[in-house]
Amino acid sequence: MTRVLSGIQPTGQPQLGNYLGALRSWIALQDSADAFYCVVDLHALTVPGDAAELRSATMTMATLLLAAGLDPDRCTLFVQSHVPAHTQVAWLLECTASFGEMRRMTQWKDKSAKGGEEAARLGLLAYPALMAADIVLYDADRVPVGDDQRQHLELTRTLAERFNHRYGQTFKVPDALIPARGQGGRVMDLQEPTRKMSKSSDSPQGTVFLFDDPKDIERKIKRAVTDADDGPDAVRYDPAAKPGVSNLLDILATITGRTPDQVAAGYTRYGPLKADTASAVVELLAPIQARYRELASDPASVAKVLRAGAERANEVAAATAARAEAAIGLLPPG
Ligand code: AMP
Ligand code: TRP
């Protein structure tokens, strides 16, 4: 059976791009694959944050994943830091990666540019090695992620292949599983449609958060930036020339299981497209929010799911870590 693994950071407010780009695939894959999903709390330490907030955000994210449709009977849901093999194997992969290739990663360049390289955490530079460890520990065949993770997945493949080449066949080399164009792999900011929608965005009006109420969702989508085109084919899918309109088409197409071109054929004006997109998003999120409220009232049962998930994840990950340590020449303990 195909093995899949993916992770999501507990920092920031989960947003529509997380759902359409990643979580939707996670939910679907539970039926066809042996699926491992984790809340990657260690990744959150790469940028400044508050300890109590991290703790509660980790619980919130795990609860939300269950509310969105992850079923502990059909997947293994766990918290990354509950499985020590992640940090163990991250070190082996940090000693497989080179400083030059880590420094060239887009995310490092973007994030370290903000506060300057001097102040950026070393963990931020090393982060892709930890992500690679998350993946190879489970012998994952496929990794369902949004388009922005493409480069990290390529690096994971490179590191797994290099390790295998140096020390003998140890890790499975995984493939990314990214939604096709126009199917939610890259949801853009509603106010700045050339920039991806993001949890940590300083553009709350351009971001639909999964916890937004219907009024806010409608307002944000109705005010989404489009363009001044009012010709007969103003509503068409053309991400380069019409990024705002194409983003709405992408969102509505993904939710309704059509292509953006099929959706576009039903509209001549932006108003009705926005109204239908807003209703589709509200209908998508309302039941998730309702289930979230129920589950959040019983944190003990979420904690139980996470305990069982960590136990199962540990069994798989500890075996891979032992294999990797032996391959690289670490003396087995007695
Ligand atoms: P993160 O919020 O960075 O932990 O991302 C969790 C998952 O959501 C990853 O697979 C990302 O690729 C995906 N994701 C985040 N933002 C977007 C977006 N705007 N469009 C599509 N996928 C996204
Ligand atoms: N780096 C991913 C992100 O920011 C999150 C992540 C961490 C991940 N480890 C992973 C995704 C392993 C897939 C597989 O979105």
pLDDT tens-digit map of 15-70: 999 999 999 999 999 999 999 999 999 999 999 999 999 999 999 999 999 999 99
* Rounded Cα–Cα distance for residues 34 and 73 (Å): 11
For ligand 2, whether the C-beta of 34 sits within 6 Å is no
* Rounded Cα–Cα distance for residues 44 and 82 (Å): 14
Provide the pLDDT for residue 21.
98
For ligand 2, whether the C-beta of 111 sits within 6 Å is no
**Catalytic choice (196, 220, 242, 274):** 196
Residue 230 has pLDDT above 90, yes or no: no
Provide the pLDDT for residue 260.
98
Provide the pLDDT for residue 12.
82
List, chain by chain if needed, residues with CB within 6 Å of any ligand 1 atom. Answer: 8-9, 17-18, 21-22, 145-146, 148-149, 185-187, 196-199
Q: What is the pTM of this model?
A: 0.97
Q: How far is CA 86 from CA 41, 300, 309, 321, in A?
A: 11, 25, 15, 8
Q: How many CB atoms lie within 10 A of CB 3?
A: 16
- Is the C-alpha dihedral spanning 135, 140, 146, 149 positive or negative? positive
Residue 114 a catalytic site member: no
Provide, rounded to the nearest whole percent, the portion of the chain with pLDDT above 70. Answer: 100
**Catalytic choice (109, 111, 215, 222):** 111
When the pLDDT of each residue in the chain is averaged and rounded to a whole number, the result is: 97
Q: 8 by DSSP, 3-state: which?
A: strand
pLDDT band (50, 70, 90) for residue 208: very high
pLDDT band (50, 70, 90) for residue 324: very high
Domains of the chain, CATH where assigned: 3-183+299-328 (3.40.50.620), 204-293 (1.10.240.10)
Provide the pLDDT for residue 39.
98
Provide the pLDDT for residue 202.
81
* Rounded Cα–Cα distance for residues 65 and 305 (Å): 12
Residue whose CA lies nearest to ligand 1 atom number 8: 18
Quick one: residue 50, left, alpha or beta (phi over 0 = left, psi -120 to 50 = alpha)? beta
Provide the pLDDT for residue 276.
98
Ligand 1 centroid distance, CA of 290 (Å)? 23
CB 153 within 8 A of CB 31: no
Ligand 1 centroid distance, CA of 284 (Å)? 18
Provide, rounded to the nearest whole percent, the portion of the chain with pLDDT above 90. Answer: 95
User: CA angle 5-10-16, nearest 5°?
Assistant: 80
Residue 255 has pLDDT above 90, yes or no: yes
Residue 156, H or E segment: helix 150-167
Residue whose CA lies nearest to ligand 2 atom number 9: 131
Provide the pLDDT for residue 112.
93
Residue whose CA lies nearest to ligand 2 atom number 14: 6
For ligand 2, whether the C-beta of 145 sits within 6 Å is yes
pLDDT band (50, 70, 90) for residue 203: confident
Q: What's the average model confidence in pLDDT over 296-312?
A: 98
For ligand 2, whether the C-beta of 196 sits within 6 Å is no
Residue whose CA lies nearest to ligand 2 atom number 10: 7
Residue 310 has pLDDT above 90, yes or no: yes
CA of 5, closest atom in ligand 2: 14
Which ligand lies nearest to the CA atom of residue 15 in the structure?
1
Nearest to 62 by CA among 233, 249, 308, 239: 308
pLDDT tens for each residue of 175-193: 999 999 999 999 999 999 9
Provide the pLDDT for residue 199.
84
Provide the pLDDT for residue 334.
80
CA of 12, closest atom in ligand 1: 2
Output the six-digit token pair for 189: 């900011």
Ligand 2 centroid distance, CA of 105 (Å)? 14
Which ligand lies nearest to the CA atom of residue 146 in the structure?
1
Q: What's the average model confidence in pLDDT over 255-274?
A: 97
- Please give the backbone phi and psi of residue 150, each rounded to the nearest 5 degrees, phi first: -55, -45
For ligand 2, whether the C-beta of 152 sits within 6 Å is yes
